[in-house]
A and B are shown apart, each in its own frame.
Chain A
């Protein structure tokens, strides 16, 4: 969108790999893992981020100047200091307010929420925080999150849409998205948006000015993505939200055949001049909590920059990206991200190669591509699916998955795995209780076949407990 010569960079970025997504990854990962030591990679850079240095991108249709850092409202803090998605605790509105104030002061002007986030409480909290500022100082993005069958009817969907206005206390929405299309394939997409006339309804709303930009967020079946772009002339998408990060760039499909490499998605959008909004730039925190050897690699090059900053710089380096969403639970995340984008220091070729190498190294690890979005939750049988997967990934990253009793660090690793498991996941919510009903998998944007992973982890736990590895 901005400078043409940036586009030539595309070729050089052949390397980046896989996951990522949006938000607050940093903290949430650590939290979900159960308050172990906070991520090592997550040390905020010292000092106050500079004001007035934010990098902005321009929306070609409306001319909006959008900050490169977008505030994802999916992992808001709770009164207990954790992410409010964890369940029991209420959103810490005061903290949300002060983080929003701080973000606005430092140039952030894009706030992304959904009726589904934080167990349905995110929109209201977002509305309360933003209402305290002039309406023209920020852009609000929300979604039509009619995932549940009971909301597929036109009436229910419209009710959900109208309710967003009420919760957000606004009379127009800057960026409206069809939420998570592709997860149920074309059929489900049609049931959610075509058969009930909702897409036409939203197009009308855009015409009426209550929606300033209409787009969609996409996970899963690439057929839906391709179809939507093929009908671009019909729908005139103002923007599209995709998952992009240095792991998903080239490895998304390799990680899960159901997914599509970010390189392809971005390329298709750039070709048509559709600005991209980026989610999961950190893969739910996985890219801020990476194996030790990769941390070392990054720190050798940029000792003062956080591990997470590399992932944000990667996403920001692409020119046709409107904004990069980060779901920030803690002020430190916000500050660290502001340091990265005030202003953006684009990656050079050598640095991109470094990230390619890091992605290739991460592919060596058999981590499960969960980014803790919690779309699978609540599990009707009480499991804490993301906590189990994150614990497993954490143990992989820390080298605590012994392959046999002969391993030199077997005893230590076994203890770390088992004790950490009980800490991260209450016994009644552990993988042993997975009955395999598979109600979760269809919700997973990463396409993880969850029961299989649960049973695999459970078998591994049994082997550790019985010492028959």
Chain B
């Protein structure tokens, strides 16, 4: 019975969390966004005391039910393990193994050091929730979206607007590889030995395992009734039941209740045992202190100063190929000019979304779960490829820009790396500033009037000024080649209008960069700010 309850709850949590990473419309997050926020490590990073304490108390009362129900990575392993059991026709295939405490605590120590040292990439690599998010975002989400696109294709033919097409692209090769490697490792471990990952590597498992030893409710073997049939041990995916000695390693037990529901002799009961050996009060105090400790270290850690190169942004544009046809004379009607995809440029300072407060804040809090990347509807967010910030989000504007009405990343972030903001607040948060690149600017190169950046600037930070003011002696470019049939063009010598940027008003949204007709590199681009400011 307990087992069934556990399975139902786990299935619900798992499905919903997975859908959070798959749903690109943002509807589900309104209702179930909290499921990401009750994940242990993100809550620690968000300094979400209430959640952290609640989870520790939960563990102190019931054991590691968190690992069996709430943690999507844990449930994912259960599913793999269950499939393995069915395939192998051996549903009772585990054996008891002693705890590998040295490994567990070394990994935990490494993890804590990484947090303190601000090595966000290592932290992100080890956090189970984030690792799961990455797997879904990188590997499952494309399948989901292709399925959606198929429905959109059909809906289009049926004249329905129920589904719309979405773009599927690899946001970062390194992150994709890491996600794939994680998936392979997890599947192999779970296929063979159930919860190996949780009880050797997972830092959250180690921390909760520490508390679950003292939990009030535990599965207990009644030595009187036990016939030493070994079924419980063979059923224990955590390999923590030593049936010969009638002992259970509660630091590894994830309270899945498989043993309890399977014991044929009624020798295993999940029951109240109380705190016999240790003073209960102390544990609670200790728990709080521990949590506080972790938190206290956060602000001290210094963000990575190095602006590691963000190369690697792949996802080639939809349209590749020839150069713009701007100078080509129109002779026949119809046809579409080819459009070169925009290329990601190297930004001296990376851009992070509004709500992130600063590069430092993001680096310190982000666990690289990809939830923000999953929900970004504008193709702006992608995982960083920088060594210290690997897998943490950053913005770039080749595919879209940070639209004024959208604050989705800030709504879903469970770790406090991107704090919640409203669209009104967003309109005044400057995350970067635009830089004009004269060599690419169309009025100078093609000799046509443009001003698309100024027209789309949401804050009016761009004004068009006659070129002579800005680039005296520059000439007006090579624009003569653009001769087009009708002589209706407005170009006048020396009067090309080019953008001038008022940095004080620029919020770095990237509308100008994204909508700039110059390709593959825009004539105006955004440089990030180390610390966001308010205009």
Residues of A within 8 A of B (CB): 34-37, 85-88, 115-120, 145, 147-151, 184, 188, 373-375, 377-382, 384, 415-416, 419-420, 422-423, 426-429, 432-439, 441-443, 455, 465-467
Given A377-B333, A435-B517 in contact, is the A147-B485 Cβ separation under 8 Å? yes
B498-535: which have CB < 8 Å to A?
Answer: 515, 517
Q: Are A423 and B328 in contact (CB under 8 A)?
A: no
Can you name the residue of chain B whose Cβ is closest to the Cβ of A188? Answer: B486
Can you name the residue of chain B whose Cβ is closest to the Cβ of A466? Answer: B405
Listed by A's residue number, 18 A-B pairs whose Cβ atoms lie within 8 Å are A35-B157, A36-B159, A86-B336, A87-B335, A119-B332, A119-B335, A120-B332, A148-B485, A150-B331, A374-B334, A382-B337, A382-B338, A384-B336, A415-B161, A428-B339, A434-B452, A437-B450, A439-B489
Distance in angstroms between the alpha carbons of A382 and B518 in the assembled complex: 12
CB distance from B91 to the nearest CB of A (A): 48
Q: Are B333 and A437 in contact (CB under 8 A)?
A: no
Distance in angstroms between the alpha carbons of A442 and B484 in the assembled complex: 11
Distance in angstroms between the alpha carbons of A329 and B299 in the assembled complex: 67
Distance in angstroms between the alpha carbons of A379 and B456 in the assembled complex: 20
Q: Are B450 and A379 in contact (CB under 8 A)?
A: no
Chain B residues, Cβ within 8 Å of A85: 333-335
Chief secondary structure at chain B's binding surface: loop
Chain B residues, Cβ within 8 Å of A380: 324-328, 337, 484
Distance in angstroms between the alpha carbons of A420 and B165 in the assembled complex: 10
Q: Are B452 and A436 in contact (CB under 8 A)?
A: yes
Please tell me if B164 contacts chain A, counting CB pairs below 8 Å. Answer: yes
Given A120-B331, A442-B488 in contact, is the A435-B450 Cβ separation under 8 Å? yes
User: Per-residue CB proximity of B150-179 to A under 8 Å, as 1/0?
Assistant: 000000111101001100000000000000
CB distance from A1 to the nearest CB of B (A): 31
Given A382-B339, A438-B490 in contact, is the A419-B451 Cβ separation under 8 Å? no
Distance in angstroms between the alpha carbons of A466 and B490 in the assembled complex: 32
Given A34-B156, A419-B164 in contact, is the A378-B330 Cβ separation under 8 Å? yes
Can you name the residue of chain B whose Cβ is closest to the Cβ of A381? Answer: B517
CB distance from B104 to the nearest CB of A (A): 49
Can you name the residue of chain B whose Cβ is closest to the Cβ of A421? Answer: B164
Distance in angstroms between the alpha carbons of A145 and B332 in the assembled complex: 8
Given A35-B157, A428-B339 in contact, is the A381-B326 Cβ separation under 8 Å? yes
Chain A residues, Cβ within 8 Å of B333: 85, 116-117, 119, 373-375, 377, 443
User: Per-residue CB proximity of B332-359 to A under 8 Å, as 1/0?
Assistant: 1111111100000000000000000000
Distance in angstroms between the alpha carbons of A381 and B518 in the assembled complex: 9
Residues of B within 8 A of A (CB): 156-159, 161, 164-165, 318-319, 324-339, 400, 403-405, 442, 446, 448-452, 455-456, 483-486, 488-490, 515, 517
Given A435-B442, A439-B489 in contact, is the A115-B332 Cβ separation under 8 Å? yes
Distance in angstroms between the alpha carbons of A455 and B328 in the assembled complex: 24
Given A85-B333, A415-B161 in contact, is the A432-B326 Cβ separation under 8 Å? no
CB distance from B487 to the nearest CB of A (A): 8
Distance in angstroms between the alpha carbons of A85 and B334 in the assembled complex: 5
Chain B residues, Cβ within 8 Å of A381: 324, 326, 337, 517
Most interface-central of B318, B319, B334, B449 (chain A CB within 10 A): B334
Q: Are A467 and B337 in contact (CB under 8 A)?
A: no
Q: Are A437 and B334 in contact (CB under 8 A)?
A: no
Distance in angstroms between the alpha carbons of A426 and B317 in the assembled complex: 12
Can you name the residue of chain B whose Cβ is closest to the Cβ of A467? Answer: B405
Distance in angstroms between the alpha carbons of A148 and B337 in the assembled complex: 17
Q: Are A438 and B449 in contact (CB under 8 A)?
A: yes
Chain A residues, Cβ within 8 Å of B448: 435, 437, 439
Distance in angstroms between the alpha carbons of A85 and B158 in the assembled complex: 24
Q: Are A429 and B339 in contact (CB under 8 A)?
A: yes
Q: Are B329 and A436 in contact (CB under 8 A)?
A: no
Q: Are A377 and B161 in contact (CB under 8 A)?
A: no
Distance in angstroms between the alpha carbons of A375 and B486 in the assembled complex: 13
CB distance from A327 to the nearest CB of B (A): 12
Q: Are B161 and A432 in contact (CB under 8 A)?
A: no
Chain A residues, Cβ within 8 Å of B490: 438
Chain B residues, Cβ within 8 Å of A433: 452, 515, 517
Chain A residues, Cβ within 8 Å of B442: 435
Distance in angstroms between the alpha carbons of A147 and B334 in the assembled complex: 14
Question: What would 20 more interface pairs be, CB under 8 Å, given A86-B336, A416-B161?
Answer: A85-B333, A86-B334, A117-B333, A118-B334, A148-B330, A148-B485, A149-B483, A150-B329, A377-B333, A380-B325, A419-B161, A423-B156, A423-B165, A428-B339, A433-B517, A435-B442, A435-B452, A437-B448, A442-B486, A465-B403
Chain A residues, Cβ within 8 Å of B326: 380-381
CB distance from B176 to the nearest CB of A (A): 23
Chain A residues, Cβ within 8 Å of B161: 415-416, 419-420
Q: Are B451 and A435 in contact (CB under 8 A)?
A: yes
CB distance from B428 to the nearest CB of A (A): 15
Given A423-B156, A466-B405 in contact, is the A436-B338 Cβ separation under 8 Å? no
Can you name the residue of chain A whose Cβ is closest to the Cβ of B486? Answer: A442
Given A378-B325, A381-B324, A436-B452 in contact, is the A426-B334 Cβ separation under 8 Å? no
Distance in angstroms between the alpha carbons of A360 and B449 in the assembled complex: 38
Distance in angstroms between the alpha carbons of A382 and B489 in the assembled complex: 18
Q: Are A148 and B489 in contact (CB under 8 A)?
A: no
Distance in angstroms between the alpha carbons of A380 and B328 in the assembled complex: 8
Q: Are A455 and B334 in contact (CB under 8 A)?
A: no
Can you name the residue of chain B whose Cβ is closest to the Cβ of A420? Answer: B161
Distance in angstroms between the alpha carbons of A59 and B329 in the assembled complex: 38
Chain A residues, Cβ within 8 Å of B451: 435-436
Distance in angstroms between the alpha carbons of A443 and B332 in the assembled complex: 11
Given A380-B325, A438-B449, A465-B403 in contact, is the A422-B165 Cβ separation under 8 Å? yes
Chain B residues, Cβ within 8 Å of A116: 331-333
Q: Are B338 and A147 in contact (CB under 8 A)?
A: no
Q: Are A148 and B329 in contact (CB under 8 A)?
A: yes
CB distance from B158 to the nearest CB of A (A): 8
Q: Are B489 and A437 in contact (CB under 8 A)?
A: yes
CB distance from B131 to the nearest CB of A (A): 32
Chain A residues, Cβ within 8 Å of B403: 465-466
Q: Are A428 and B335 in contact (CB under 8 A)?
A: no
Chain B residues, Cβ within 8 Å of A36: 156, 159
Distance in angstroms between the alpha carbons of A150 and B484 in the assembled complex: 10
CB distance from B517 to the nearest CB of A (A): 5
Chain B residues, Cβ within 8 Å of A149: 329, 483, 485-486
A-B interface, 10 closest residue pairs, ranked by CB to CB distance from nearest: A85-B334, A437-B448, A37-B159, A382-B339, A374-B334, A120-B332, A435-B450, A442-B486, A380-B326, A466-B405
CB distance from B148 to the nearest CB of A (A): 13
Q: Are A377 and B164 in contact (CB under 8 A)?
A: no
CB distance from A74 to the nearest CB of B (A): 8
